Amino acid sequence: MWNKKAVLIVDDEFIILASLKIQLARILDNDIIIEEASSCNEAKLIIDDLIINHTEMSLIISDYNLDDCKGTDLLYYCNDKFPHSKKIILSGQSDIDAILEFKEKYGLHAIFSKPWIFNDFKNSIYEIPDLVRNRKD
């Protein structure tokens, strides 16, 4: 059913989006689409568009504190559309109880604080076999 695979990164800070995109481009298989959004509403539109285009969202990486919603709210929305996608939360200062509650109920692949350590991030992505075919160390 799915023709392609995508990763969605969501953060309201341009520098974080740019950094994540660069790092993911170094890690992911070349045929994985990297989508980016700077708000919850924009991310929801991208999620809906992925469905229309028969593109599987294999991974979503979201900041916890977005301007228009909490990252866990976005992950709830994503989970309804793509229940098997891996989910990662980034947090600077956040409500760890809400993140842990989401993790317990739906599962999180990882939680990273800002700034994250690239090798830890990279190793976490390497644990998702359908995104990384050839490890690029």
- Give the span between the Cα atoms of 92 and 87, in whole angstroms: 17
Q: What pLDDT was estimated at residue 134? A: 66
Q: What pLDDT was estimated at residue 94? A: 64
Q: What pLDDT was estimated at residue 64? A: 92
Domain 4-126, architecture per CATH: 3-Layer(aba) Sandwich (3.40)
- Give the span between the Cα atoms of 27 and 21, in whole angstroms: 10
Residue 96 makes CB contacts below 8 A (sequence gap 6+) with: none
Nearest 5°: the CA angle 17, 30, 112 is 35
Residue 53 makes CB contacts below 8 A (sequence gap 6+) with: 3, 4
List per-residue pLDDT tens for the chain, 137 residues long. Answer: 678 999 999 999 999 999 999 999 999 999 999 999 999 999 999 999 999 999 999 999 999 999 999 999 999 999 999 999 999 999 876 678 888 888 888 889 999 988 999 999 999 999 998 888 666 55
Q: What pLDDT was estimated at residue 119? A: 95
Q: Considering just the CA atoms, what is the radius of gyration of the chain in Å?
A: 14
Q: What pLDDT was estimated at residue 1? A: 67
Say whether 26 sits in a helix, a strand or coil. Answer: helix
| Residues facing residue 21 across a β-bridge | none
Q: pTM score, two decimals?
A: 0.92
**Alpha carbon of 54 to those of 6, 33, 76, 79, 85: distances in Å?**
10, 13, 20, 16, 14
**Other CB atoms within 10 Å distance of the CB of residue 87:** 24
Q: What pLDDT was estimated at residue 133? A: 67
